[in-house]
C-alpha cells in the first residue's frame, strides 16, 4: 500500500478539522452555550418533550435541550460544524457501503447487461448528436500536461472540493440555506444509488476493444486514480448518473446565485457567476476526457441535482428520528444555530427568502 492511500484521507481529514476550527464560536452564553462555571447558576429547567411538524402533522418528540450541559453538548456549542462533519461522514459512508455491497454481490451476468446499457446510451447519443466523448478524449491524449491536469481534477477535486464548499458555505450562509444544500447532496446520493443499482451502466473506459470505440482509461493508465475509486469495494458499473457533475452543478449554482451582492458591484456579481459556471464545466470536461462518463450520465446527474434541490425539504420530516438518536446519546444539538449577527434563524424548509441577507462581506 503506497503513500497515496494515506495522503488523500489525511487531506480530507485536514479539511474537515479545519472547517470545525474556522467555524468555532466564542465561549459566551450565546446560542445556548454555558460555561462550566455557570452550570450551578443556571439549572436545567427544559421540558422533556417538544413538538415538531412531520408531513404537516404535529408530533411530540424528545427535547434534547435537557442534555445541553453534557460535555459533548458543550463541545458542539463551541464547535458546531462538528455535527456537520458527522452528517457528512454518515451520508458518505452509507453511500459508499451501499456501493461496496453492490460491488461484492455483483452477479457475473450484470457485466454484459451494464455493457448493453452503455451501448444503448451511445446509440441514443448518436441519434441526438451528443456522442462527443471520443472527440473530447482524443483532443487531450496528445497533450500530456493537460491530460495530467484533467486526470487529477477528476480524481482529487470531487470529495475535497465538496467538503471545502460545505465548510465555506457554513461559515457565510444562514443555517436554512446551508442545511438545504446539505440535504440536497444527501438526496442526490439516495437517488443515484437507486438508479445505478437498478440500471447498472458500464463507463466508456471499461467497454471492451471488440466494440470498436477505443476509449482509454487515462486515470488508471496515468496512475493518478483516487484511493476512493480504485479499491476492490468500489462499484465500477455505476456510471449513470454522474454525481461528479451533479455535485458540481449544485456547488456552481449556489456560488452563482449568492444573494446580497450589492447591485452596484457588477464586477463581483459577474465573478461569482463566472466561477459558478466554470466549476461544473471543468468537471464535465474531466468526466468526458477521462472516459468515466457519457454525456447522458451528466444529463442524468443534472436532473438528479435539480430533483434534490427542489425536494430536499422532505428530509426535515426525519428530525424526530434525529431527536431520538441524540437523546439516546445524551447530546443536545440546537436546531438552528443563530446567524452571525445573533438573530435566530427560522426553521428551514429548503427555500431561501430575500430577507436572509448573508453575503455581508461583499
129: left (phi over 0), alpha (psi -120 to 50) or beta: left
Tens of each residue's pLDDT in the chain, 362 residues: 445 567 788 888 999 999 999 998 865 444 444 444 444 444 567 788 888 889 889 999 888 888 988 999 999 989 999 999 988 888 877 877 776 777 666 666 788 999 999 999 999 999 999 999 999 999 999 999 999 999 999 988 988 999 999 999 998 888 888 999 999 999 999 999 999 888 999 999 999 989 889 999 999 887 777 765 655 556 788 899 999 999 999 999 999 987 765 545 788 888 889 999 999 999 999 999 999 999 999 999 999 999 999 999 999 999 899 889 999 999 998 765 433 443 333 333 444 444 334 333 33
Q: What cell was used for 250?
A: 449544485
Asked if 62 and 98 count as a contact pair (C-beta separation under 8 A), the reply is no
- On whether the pTM is more than 0.85, the answer is no
User: Which residue ranges make up each domain of the chain?
Assistant: 4-25+34-329
60: which DSSP letter?
E
Instruction: Give 183-237 pLDDT, tens digit per residue.
Output: 999 999 999 999 988 899 999 999 998 988 999 999 988 777 776 565 555 678 8
Number of H helices, E strands in the chain: 13, 2
The overall longest dimension of the chain from CA atoms, in Å, is 77
Of 239, 241, 230, give the one whose Cα is nearest residue 190: 241
Amino acid at each position: 500500500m503506497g503513500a497515496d492511500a494515506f495522503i488523500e484521507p489525511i487531506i480530507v481529514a485536514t479539511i474537515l478539522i479545519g472547517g470545525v476550527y474556522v467555524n468555532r464560536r466564542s465561549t459566551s452564553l450565546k446560542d445556548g452555550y454555558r460555561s462550566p462555571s455557570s452550570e450551578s447558576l443556571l439549572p436545567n429547567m427544559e421540558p422533556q418533550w417538544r413538538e415538531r411538524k412531520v408531513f404537516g402533522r404535529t408530533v411530540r418528540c424528545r427535547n434534547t435541550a435537557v442534555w445541553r450541559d453534557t460535555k459533548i453538548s458543550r463541545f458542539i456549542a463551541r464547535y458546531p460544524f462538528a455535527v456537520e462533519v458527522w452528517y457528512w461522514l454518515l451520508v458518505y459512508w452509507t453511500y459508499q457501503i451501499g456501493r461496496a455491497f453492490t460491488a461484492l454481490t455483483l452477479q457475473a451476468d450484470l457485466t454484459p447487461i451494464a455493457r448493453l446499457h452503455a451501448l444503448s446510451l451511445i446509440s441514443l447519443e448518436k441519434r441526438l448528436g451528443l456522442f462527443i466523448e471520443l472527440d473530447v478524449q482524443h483532443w487531450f491524449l496528445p497533450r500530456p500536461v493537460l491530460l495530467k491536469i484533467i486526470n487529477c481534477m477528476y480524481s482529487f477535486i470531487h470529495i475535497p472540493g465538496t467538503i471545502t464548499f460545505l465548510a465555506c458555505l457554513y461559515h457565510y450562509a444562514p443555517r436554512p440555506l446551508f442545511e438545504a444544500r446539505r440535504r440536497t447532496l444527501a438526496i442526490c446520493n439516495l437517488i443515484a444509488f437507486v438508479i445505478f443499482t437498478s440500471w447498472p451502466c458500464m463507463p466508456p473506459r471499461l467497454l471492451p476493444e471488440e466494440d470498436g470505440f477505443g476509449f482509454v482509461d487515462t486515470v488508471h493508465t496515468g496512475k493518478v486514480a483516487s484511493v476512493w475509486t480504485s479499491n476492490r469495494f468500489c462499484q465500477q458499473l455505476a456510471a449513470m448518473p454522474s454525481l461528479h457533475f451533479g455535485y458540481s452543478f449544485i456547488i456552481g449554482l449556489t456560488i452563482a446565485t449568492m444573494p446580497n451582492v450589492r447591485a452596484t458591484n457588477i464586477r463581483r456579481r459577474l465573478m461569482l457567476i463566472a466561477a459558478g459556471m466554470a466549476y461544473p464545466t471543468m468537471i464535465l470536461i474531466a468526466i468526458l476526457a477521462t472516459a468515466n462518463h457519457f454525456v447522458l450520465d451528466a444529463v442524468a446527474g443534472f436532473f438528479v441535482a435539480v430533483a434534490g434541490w427542489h425536494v430536499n425539504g422532505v428530509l426535515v420530516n426525519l428530525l424526530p428520528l434525529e431527536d431520538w438518536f441524540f437523546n439516546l446519546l445524551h447530546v443536545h444539538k440546537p436546531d438552528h444555530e443563530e446567524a452571525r449577527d445573533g438573530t435566530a434563524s427560522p426553521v428551514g424548509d429548503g427555500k431561501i427568502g430575500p430577507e436572509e441577507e448573508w453575503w455581508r462581506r461583499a
